Structures are given as C-alpha cells and as structure tokens.
Structure 1
Amino acid sequence: MPDGLAGRVTPSALPTTALRRVDDRADRLHVRIDRPAVRNAIDRGLVDELHAVCAELEAAPRILIISGAGGVFASGADIAELRERRRADALAGINSRLFTRIAALPMPVIAAIDGWALGGGAELAYAADFRIAGTTARIGNPETSLGIIAAAGASWRLAELVGEPVAKEILLAGRVLNAEEALALHLVTEVHDSADLDAAADALADRIAMQDAQAVRLTKAVFRAPRSAHPEVDEIAQSVLFESPAKFERMTAFLEKRKR
C-alpha cells in the first residue's frame, strides 16, 4: 500500500512547491499535485495552495482540472503529519472544509485520476463534478485500518455516488476499486490509457466550455440545492437566464441554422 493515504502552459502564479499549473487558459485551469516523495499525499501546505486556487476561481470562475504527477493522483493524507494531529485539528476540518469549497466552485471541477486515489485523495476526487480515470486507477478509503474515519466527505458523498452497499464495502471493509469497477459503478465516467488522460480531461473541458458559462454555473448551483429548495430555485435561475443576452443569441442562432 502507498505510504500515504495539454494546452498552453504558463508559469505558475502561485508560490507553490506541491501544486503545478500545467494549463492556464481563459476558460480553464489545470493544476497537478506534485509531491513524488510521498506519492502526492495531501499535507497542510497543499491544502493551503488549493485554497488559494479556490479563491482565484471564486473571483473569476473557470473550469478546474485536478490531476496528480508521476502516475499517482493522491495517495491520501500525509501520514507523518496526520499522526501528530489531535482533537482540535479534527474539529478544524482541515481537509473537509477544503473539499467542500472545491465542490462549491462556480464552474465544474474535473478530477483526472491516475494510479492511487486513497483516503483524502479519494475524497478530493469525490468532491469533483466529474471523475475520469486512467487504466491504473485504484480508488479507496482505508482510513479505518489506521484507526480513523474518512471524515472529509467520503462518509456521505460516497453513498450518493455509488450506493450504500458498495460505499460500506469501501469504508468499512477496505475495498479498493480498480478503474473498470469504478466505471461500472459510475464513480468515474470515462477510462483512458494514462498517456491520454490529460487530453481526455481537456476534451471534457472543451465540451463544457461550449455551453453558455452562466447557464452552466446556475445549473450547477441548482443541482446542488437541497430538495426542499425546488422548484423555486429552478424558477429563479431560469428567470435570470431568460433575460440574458446569451439566451437570445444562442436561440436565434439555432433557429437560423434550422432554416437553412
């Protein structure tokens, strides 16, 4: 078990040692976790860097792609750091509050999972809107083997994603899903050779970027709203879009194309 649980490339604007920008465009940002010595384990420094990315994308919404370097997505929390955490650290929700923030970003988030995505690494992937996988992907939550629980979203997100019986196998019995199992369970929506994973993430981002950005943002917000908020939240979102210039432009273009 691991120690811890393409486009235009521009230099990173972040003072980062664990997170690299590999693609930075007007419509998307691709960041890659790069901590090879600990198989991309998530420590407090990486959490802080991802919070900085969230702040940037909250202010200027774009699609976010998250991947891992060296054939590993994220092998989990940094165990050396996690071992020293105490009650106050658990109550601070160091990872859980980050993943909640990532899930709530205005534009969609894509997790491109290659190799191990365990513990906190899996929970980071569960917070994304889309998960695509390389053929080597292995996804699981072995926290109980270390005397803790999966407290950063897996205990509730995972059942929503794969159903209660499989979620319990993963959380309580240490099951680790391979790429084909994750695809069959719809935990991931695509599986590609590792060499093609970045291109597949970009292709998915391209399809999202073809949609109207405001409609995508409001659809994501409505999708995340609690059941008790519907249908009012849907109607409010639609009332905004019914007045948007993009709606008239796109529908006019559709009607004109149909006439040809």
Structure 2
Amino acid sequence: MKALLIEEAPTYVHVRLNRPEVRNAIDQQMVDELHELCDTLEREPKILILSGCETEKGAIFASGADISQLRERRNIDALRGINSRIFRRIAALPMPVIAALDGFALGGGAELAFAADFRIATPRVRIGNPETGLGILAAAGGTWRLTELVGEPIAKQILLAGRILKAEEALAIHLVTEIHEPENLIEAAIELANKISTQDSLAVQLTKKVMHAPREAHPMVDELAQAILFESPEKYARMDAFLTKNKK
C-alpha cells in the first residue's frame, strides 16, 4: 500500500492516511486501498482507527477529494459513487470505526469522518464541507450523515454556507466526543479501542447492526439479534463470571 500506512494489533488496526504531499487528498488509489482494507476487516473483524499525518504545513486528516481528479470526472463518474461506496462500506464494517482527527478534515475528508462510529479530535481540528464553493455538493454521505449527526440547522450552515467548525464548536454539538492534545490523540484512540475490545465482540457487532437498521425494522431486528446472543457461549461465560464475582 502507498496511500495508507497500516499498523496491526490483536484487536484493532490503525490506518494512517499517507499522502502528505497533497494534504491527504483522497484519490482513486487511496479509495482502492481502503477497499482492500475493508476486504480484510469484513473477513476478520477488528476495530479500525483512522488518522491522518503530518505535512510541511502541519497536521492533516484529509483535505478532501483530489481536485485534480475531481475536475475531470463526468456524470458517469458521479453515478458510480466512487467515494460514497467506500464510505458506506467503512460505515458498515462489523466492528466500530474510530476517526482520530487532527488538522483539517474537509470535504471528502469530513465525509470519511462522518462515516466513523466515533470521532475524537485535537484543538487544531477544522471540519467542514466547502463543496458548494467548488460548484459541487457533498455527495459521499455529507448531506444526510451530517444532518443525522448534528441536526438540520447546523448542517445547513456547513453544507450551504460553507461554515468550518473549530474543535470546541464540533465538541459542543457532539460531532466529536473528545478533545486531546495532538501528542495524545492516537493514545486516546487506542484507549477507546481497548475499552471496546473488553466487550463481547459478537454483542458489539450485533449492536452496531441494530443501531444502523432502519426505524421500521424495530423491534423485530432487536429481538432477532438478542435471540442470537441468548444462545452465545460468551453470554453464559460472562454472566457466570458476573454471578460468581457477586457471590464473593
């Protein structure tokens, strides 16, 4: 892989976007490598941590889609959903996805962050969707994911008026849930991954699926997922351990 740097641990994978020369602009190669990553994580579920890198001008998560490629795309390319398909796939990974944001997360970079289950940040984060200023729209999930995350009034400020959020503003509206100093960001992401990994993996995976199910699927999907977990050996092991501990 060239656009991604991958570090594996027993329960998580840390992936750094690595195109510092173009401020981590998301190009076709990065998309292809993210698809390869998803192939692996769909077969062998692990928590995914996504982060950016340092550039000559400072830290960056992702500055958006690669404008040099985006400039040449036509209507058929829009209908292929190049970025939206990979972001949907990342959002649907079996185990949670943590976006560790530092510096700019703009355009497609913001949409990639929106596809994560958790977003944590540093004080120097700037997040937004300036697409309409370039004559396009946030078509890789930004229009609807952002609205779901922060509500329509703020989403319209970002999507229609080009508002860029600072870290404290993003924290206040719960777009990010934690702020850490840059030198502690990855450590905080790993700590969160470790907390998740103490839970039962199957229970976490099914809970994520149930949370993402459409409203009309409830409560049936909840009950079916619970029926699976009620027969899980891990359920018995964990509940037996709990009962034994409480008897002492």
Q: Same fold (TM over 0.5)?
A: yes
Distance 2:44 2:194 in 1: 18
> TM-score if structure 2 supplies the norm length?
0.98
1:99 and 2:100 equivalent?
A: no
Structure 1, unaligned runs of 5 or more: 1-15
Residue among 17, 22, 26 paired with 1:38: 22
Read off the aligned partner of 1:30 and give its amino acid letter. Answer: H
SS of residue matched to 1:76: coil
Distance 1:171 1:125 in 2: 15
Residue among 161, 169, 173 paired with 1:185: 173
**By how many angstroms is 1:258 displaced?**
1.0
1:55 and 2:39 equivalent?
A: yes
State percent identity of aligned pairs: 66
**By how many angstroms is 1:26 displaced?**
2.1
Read off the aligned partner of 1:20 and give its amino acid letter. Answer: L
For residues 81-120 of structure 1, the aligned pairs below 5 Å read: 81-120=69-108
Give 4+ residue runs of structure 1 displaced > 3 Å after superposition: none
Residue among 139, 147, 155 paired with 2:127: 139
SS of residue matched to 1:30: strand
Q: Which residue of 1 aligns with 2:192?
A: 204
**By how many angstroms is 1:256 displaced?**
1.0
1:18 and 2:6 equivalent?
A: no
1:169-219, Cα deviation, whole Å (9 max, x unpaired): 000001000111100000011000011000000000011000000000000
1:63-100, Cα deviation, whole Å (9 max, x unpaired): 00000011100000111111011111100000000000
| Superposed CA RMSD | 0.6
> TM-score if structure 1 supplies the norm length?
0.93
Q: Which residue of 2 aligns with 1:176?
A: 164
Read off the aligned partner of 2:43 and give its amino acid letter. Answer: A
Distance 1:29 1:113 in 2: 16
SS of residue matched to 2:211: helix
Distance 1:124 1:214 in 2: 25
SS of residue matched to 1:66: strand
Read off the aligned partner of 2:44 and give its amino acid letter. Answer: A
Distance 1:183 1:255 in 2: 39
**By how many angstroms is 1:19 displaced?**
0.3
Residue among 223, 248, 259 paired with 2:236: 248
